């Protein structure tokens, strides 16, 4: 009886250990590493295209930044936007930008500062008599170019201050290489969204600037989660290469990142569909920022530290020092 127990015990002790995830399927990890590097090169390509777009096309700055006149009016009946654009162009000299609500009953006309003919209540009444539309003036606002210039300066200053503060915090919280990766991912997200607006010629106004600031916070949150997991993996696993450690950290947070991004995109999509023209730029900017932010948190924030020399010995030495300091 006792010999059977000893035999059983020896069998358990001599049986091979269950392989780890890396040992189970090393080809899967190698494929994931290649996909991560492909995503990194894609992110770099998007940044270069964005720089080209911003350099040659520039941003289509909205009235908030350039200054000018904004006139709002409503119509009792739904009117085709192309028809309204054509009739306004026939009666109004100079360039203007027309936008409408989803039902085509609430209209907004934007004119540049110094326009030859400024739309007012009297002009709208005359236009209504000529076209037969039942139009009711709502509001007319003038925004000075000086205000727009101050908005550009303050918005740029807000972005710079946020980036510097985040770099200081991440360096203190983690390590300067991980901080560089997070900051590079942040720059990628902002630059690609600005490049998208430049290439498509979409108006860039205060709502889009608010979306860019929101993207900074969202991107940083994803990068911190992956950076914290990478630090944990480097402390715990000493028998893996740096590339395998990065892949392990990214894979363990991938599901969380995709679920968070998916639920956020669903909310932004609802704003895009039901928010109407005033929130369209905000929704487009935020939607693109979340998509590109998910890419950068996976492919950029974790890859940059590896490329500039991050190694697990740094955190392993740190853990040993903490253990020695805790000993009586």
Residues whose CB is less than 8 angstroms from the CB of residue 56 and which lie 6 or more positions away in sequence, other chains included: none
Mean pLDDT across 313-317: 64
Measured CA to CA in angstroms, residue 183 lies from 142, 163, 272, 299 at distances of 38, 7, 28, 13
Residue-level pLDDT at 145: 62
Strand-pair partners of 61: 204
> In the chain, pLDDT over 90 holds for what percent of residues?
17
CA 257 remoteness from chain centre: 13
Contact 293, 222 (CB under 8 A): yes
Residue-level pLDDT at 312: 72
Residue-level pLDDT at 87: 83
In the chain, where does the domain assigned CATH 1.20.1640.10 lie? Answer: 26-60+147-321
Residue-level pLDDT at 315: 64
State pLDDT tens for residues 114-171.
666 677 777 888 888 888 888 888 887 777 665 566 767 777 787 788 778 877 887 7
Residue-level pLDDT at 9: 41
In the chain, where does the domain assigned CATH 3.30.70.100 lie? Answer: 68-143
State pLDDT tens for residues 91-105.
777 777 787 776 788
Cα angle at 144 between 143 and 149, to 5 degrees?
110
Rg of the chain, C-alpha, whole Å? 28
pLDDT confidence bin for 289, thresholds 50/70/90: very high
Residue-level pLDDT at 146: 59
Cα–Cα dist 132/139, whole Å: 21
Mean pLDDT across 36-56: 94
State pLDDT tens for residues 47-81.
999 999 999 998 888 777 777 888 888 888 888 88
Residues whose CB is less than 8 angstroms from the CB of residue 315 and which lie 6 or more positions away in sequence, other chains included: 175, 231, 234, 235
Contact 199, 57 (CB under 8 A): yes
Residue-level pLDDT at 8: 42
Mean pLDDT across 111-116: 70
Residue-level pLDDT at 44: 95
pLDDT confidence bin for 173, thresholds 50/70/90: confident
Q: Does residue 16 have a pLDDT over 70?
A: no
Q: Does residue 268 have a pLDDT over 90?
A: yes
H/E stretch holding 98 reads strand 96-100
Residue-level pLDDT at 266: 93
Whole-model pTM: value is: 0.75
Residue-level pLDDT at 147: 59
> In the chain, pLDDT over 70 holds for what percent of residues?
82
Q: What's the CATH code, domain 26-60+147-321?
A: 1.20.1640.10
Entry field: residues in the chain: 328
Report whether CATH 3.30.70.100 matches the domain 68-143.
yes
pLDDT confidence bin for 320, thresholds 50/70/90: low
Residues whose CB is less than 8 angstroms from the CB of residue 303 and which lie 6 or more positions away in sequence, other chains included: 36, 37, 40, 181, 246
State pLDDT tens for residues 180-233.
888 899 899 999 999 999 999 888 888 898 898 888 878 888 888 888 888 888
Residue-level pLDDT at 317: 61
Residue-level pLDDT at 191: 93
Residue-level pLDDT at 239: 74
Output the average pLDDT for the chain: 79
Residues whose CB is less than 8 angstroms from the CB of residue 123 and which lie 6 or more positions away in sequence, other chains included: 117
| Torsion over CA: 247, 250, 254, 258 (sign) | negative
Residue-level pLDDT at 54: 93
């Amino acid at each position: 009886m006792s010999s059977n127990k000893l035999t059983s015990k020896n069998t358990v002790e001599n049986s091979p250990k269950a392989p780890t995830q890396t040992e189970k399927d090393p080809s899967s990890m190698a494929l994931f590493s290649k996909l991560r590097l492909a995503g990194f090169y894609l992110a770099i390509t998007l940044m270069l295209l964005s720089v080209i777009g911003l350099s040659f096309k520039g941003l289509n700055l909205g009235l908030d930044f350039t200054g000018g006149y904004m006139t709002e009016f409503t119509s009792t009946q739904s009117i085709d936007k192309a028809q309204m654009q054509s009739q306004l162009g026939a009666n109004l000299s100079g360039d203007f930008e027309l936008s409408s609500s989803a039902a085509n009953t609430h209209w907004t006309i934007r004119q540049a500062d110094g326009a030859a003919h400024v739309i007012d209540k009297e002009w709208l009444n005359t236009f209504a008599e000529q076209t037969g539309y039942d139009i009711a003036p709502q509001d007319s606002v003038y925004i000075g170019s000086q205000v727009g210039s101050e908005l550009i300066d303050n918005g740029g200053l807000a972005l710079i201050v946020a980036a510097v503060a985040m770099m200081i915090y991440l360096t203190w919280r983690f390590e300067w290489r991980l901080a560089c990766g997070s900051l590079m991912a942040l720059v990628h997200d902002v630059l690609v969204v600005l490049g998208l607006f430049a290439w498509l010629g979409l108006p860039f106004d205060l709502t889009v600037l608010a979306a860019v600031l929101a993207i900074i916070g969202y991107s940083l949150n994803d990068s911190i989660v992956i950076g914290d997991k990478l630090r944990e993996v480097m402390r715990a696993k000493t028998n893996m290469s740096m590339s395998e450690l990065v892949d392990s950290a990214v894979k363990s947070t991938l599901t969380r990142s995709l679920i968070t991004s998916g639920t956020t995109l669903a909310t932004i999509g609802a704003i895009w569909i039901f928010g109407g023209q005033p929130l369209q730029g905000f929704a487009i900017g935020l939607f693109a920022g979340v998509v590109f932010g998910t890419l950068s948190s996976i492919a950029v924030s974790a890859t940059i530290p590896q490329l500039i020399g991050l190694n697990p010995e740094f955190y392993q030495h740190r853990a040993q020092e903490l253990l020695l300091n805790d000993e009586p």
